[in-house]
Structures are given as structure tokens and as C-alpha cells.
Structure 1
Amino acid sequence: MSSSKRFVVTGLAGQVVQSLIERAADRQDIELIALGRPTLDLGDPATIEPAMRAAKPDLIVSAAAYTAVDQAEGEEAAAFAVNAEGPGELARVAKLLNVPILHISTDYVFDGSKTAPYAETDPVAPLGVYGRSKLEGERKVAAATDNHAILRTAWVYSPFGKNFLRTMLRLAETRDGLNVVADQIGNPTSALDIADAVLAVGTNLLSSSAAEMRGIFHMTGTGEASWAEFAAEIFRLSEAKGGPSATVTPIPASDYPTPAERPANSRLDCTQLATVHGVRLPDWRPSTELVVDRLLNGEDS
């Protein structure tokens, strides 16, 4: 184990953190340490440098975030503290310790008006507080250190925490039919696949100082769907295994108003990640099946 690299990740309970803990457990070359409150609190910048110095990272993974998109509309200061100021301080400490930082960001930096998948070079225009706070986090990370990779992802689901897939299965236990938004499209992305990609990109950053391995990369599951199509596939898979299922009625987003506006197009073009890092996430359908299987088998709470 002496040659293993220490990846220190922010957060304890999030989908990506839980997935990283699971995936890193199978790796001899990576020791993963998760740091969260009260030891490390992104909302309290004074905790960040002491916690990181004590953890002695070879690489920092900035995964913790304020992700309550609708709630953020009324809690702008809290969202910016955790999503912008915190990552900026993490990146400053990464530079101080002379280690790379890998920062997880989001499709919400875009307004969703493009008709094709978004490339890394497309103009950003977040629609709400959450997107603006995440964009500011990207900028603060990039400003603090050149030795960074920012990975934008979208539509994250997993066996852990709160997410669309788990919500659909839970609702189907008591309802025969569900209305699901059909005019927002994206790339459903398993946090388990994100974890594999993060470990691969992190390993690349440690093995090469090449400038092209740094910067912004898009990282989502392969293939696209609307929320309604995603729900229908979840129920198809669940029903085939004897689990809960419901009929999906596609509706426009205008029929399901939320405090925060969502991008109509969340699709991300992940060519750059595949070209530079040799990382391509699997198709979302088999990845969805793996998560549905685990939940129906009671493997995860």
C-alpha cells in the first residue's frame, strides 16, 4: 500500500462521495479519505486548510456541494458559501500543498437553449442561484490553481441519497400513474460511473503534468432521455424484476412549476474527456439497470 495515492474528497453522505468510497475500496493504488462536517465545513473556510493539511492529500476531490436547486433561490448566501467560496478555498489550499484538485460541477451553468449537446467552450448562462453559485465555484477554482480539472456532470442518480430514480421507485409503491416532465432532456448519469471516471482522471492528473489534462471537461452517461423516458425505463426494469411500477404520463415543464427554472437541454458533449483522458462513461440504460437491481435486492438503504 506504500505506493498508493491518497485522494481526499469533500463530503460524507453525497451520492458521488458514497460511490467513490465504494469504488476506491476495490483499488490497491488509491486510498480514499472522505472529509465532512465538522472537521471540514465548506461553509466555514477556516476549517479547510487545517483539515487538508492533516489529511495529507496527493489529490483533492471537491465533491461536496449545496444541491437543493429550488431551496437555493431563497438561500443565495448559503449556496454561494458552499458552492463558490468553499471550492475556491479548497483550490487555494491545493496550490499551497502542491497537489491537483478535481472539482465536480454541473450542466446548470448553461441555460439549456442550445439545440445540440453543450461543449466545454459554449457560453455559460445559468438560469438560477444554484447554477450561478456552481459557475462561480468553477471560476474560483480555476483562478486559484492551474493544476485543476473541472468535471461537469448532470442528472445524477445512484443507490444512495435522494435522486430521481429512487424517488420514482418510492412513488410507484403507492401510485399507479405519474406525471413526468417530457420537454427537458439530458444524460442520466450514475454516480457509480462518475466515481470510476473521477478515479481515472485523478490518476491521470497525478501521472502527467500535461496542460491539456487540466481545465474543464464534460462527464455524463452516454445516451440521452427526457425525464419521462428515464422514468419509463426505470419502471420497465423494475417491473421485469417484480418491483414497483407505474404508468408515465408525459407533461410539459410548465405543468410542473418549480421555484428554480431548469434547463430544457442538459445534454453535455463528452468528446473531450474521452479524447484527452481516455474516459467514457457507459450508456445510461445498463447503468440504470444495475442501480435498480441493487435497490430491489435491498443492498442499499
Structure 2
Amino acid sequence: MNSAAAPPSVVAVIGGGRMGAGIAQSFAAAGSRVAVVERDGAAGAAALERIAKGLRQATERGTLALAGPSDLDVPDRVAVVSSIAEVPHDTDLVVEAVPEDAALKAELLAAAEDVVHEGCVLASNTSSLSVTELAAALKRPGRFLGMHFFNPVPVSALVELVLTPDTTEATRSAAVRWTHALGKQDVVVKDSPGFASSRLGLTLGLEAIRMVEEGVADAEAIDTAMHLGYRHPMGPLRLTDVVGLDVRLAIAEHLHATLGERFAPPRLLREKVARGELGRKSGQGFYRW
């Protein structure tokens, strides 16, 4: 990994939720100017606060060095715009980070393509949807790929780069270079349901949920077994809480439809989501937060 790689000069992130804000924070910390697209003013303000808080915490932990106080750097490097039409024309990279709705993602990516210059790379942060199908909405699908970031983005060391049959070598090379500029490692995979990471991670998570459902062991025992026995930094059920049970359910439903019964969502997962027990973001999942 080449830590001297330069980040893109201008980045646009569509969506300022937890993942979008983390992506924006990472590029801003690396020196990029970032435009975050949020149509709602309150959501835009919340995104800026997430980014500022994340930078402050990283600076306090000593894991991030900035030119000045982090809360002063954010207004200089990050701006919120209310529509894709306001994304700068000279943007080098657009990353879509909205919920896992293929139609919505395709619509937003197509709109962004009409605003930016021809050399701009477009990417989706989808964790499971077909990147090839999303590319079909674009006029120049060669400049598109998946850039699957992991939560929490600023401290995660990995970006999964997902290539479609049309992704050009120039697009791939730029994505690899920018991943390295963030201080992260890339893994390059071909487009397939769930890619590599979501497919394997979900398999473990769903089986852990079934074990709780069947009374094999409680969540803490299962997570401790994987943490200490297999050196996982976090057990599969705690990770499910961090990712969001609703997100895990949506991915499971997609993989169930595309890959078959082995990805059928457990009853317990459906019940928890129906009760609003979504994990860390709701305060209750397999753990109380």
C-alpha cells in the first residue's frame, strides 16, 4: 500500500448518514474538498456535526493529524449541498451512500453523471446490490464501480472495490490509488451477490442468530467464542448490532432471492426488526447500547 498516494481533489458524497458522513470525514482528513448531498436542511446539519465530531475524536485519540483544530477544518473542507445539481463540475469522485434501494441509487448516480465532468469516477457504497445493474443506468458505465466502505469508516482498514464487466482499468486504478490515499487497503472483487465481504460476513451472522433462536447459547457466549477462539475483533452478533439489524435483514433478503435458501433470514431477526430493535442506532439489538 502506497501511503504517499494523493487523494482526489474534490469528492461528492450522496447521503450524509452514518456511512456517508464517515466517507466524507475520511476524504476530508486526507485533504480532499468534499460536498455532501443532503436535501433536508436538518439532515445536512446533522451530517456536518457527525463529521466534525468524528474528526475531533480522532484528533483526541491521536489517530489523526490535521493542519489545525479539527472543528475549524471541517467548514473549510466540507460543505453540504441540497441537490445533486450543486455538486461541483470538477468533482473527481462521486460516492453514493444512500439506503439499499437499487432504484434510488440508480436515479441518483444517473443525475450525478449529468453534472460532473467526463473523467469523474462514480461509485456506489452498496454492500450487496448488483453493481452491474446499477451501471446500466449510466451513459458511461466504464467509469463506475462499487466502493464498499466498512462501518465505522474512519477507523476501518478496508475498502472492497467491486468491478463490473465494463469498469475500465483507469477507473480501477484510480479507486485503488484513492483507497491507499485514505490509508486503507483495497480488495478487488468481481460483481457477485454480496461480493466477498457481505456474503461471508452475513453467513456467519445469520448462523449466530439461528443459534440464539435455537437456544444453543446466548449472544455474549457466541461472540466471546468467536472473539477469543478465532481472534475476531468483534463477535458476529455485536457486529450485527453495529451494522444494524434492518441493514442485515435487507441484505439477507436480497441474497436469499439471488443465492437461495442458505441466506433465508431467521425468524428472530425479522421479529427484532419488526419491534424496532435495530441495534446500536436504536439502543437495543442483541445487546443494550
TM-score band, normalised by shorter chain: 0.3 to 0.5
Q: Report 1 or 2 for greater relative contact order, CA contacts < 8 Å, sequence distance ≥ 6.
A: 1
What's the TM-score once normalised by structure 1's chain length?
Answer: 0.39
What's the TM-score once normalised by structure 2's chain length?
Answer: 0.41
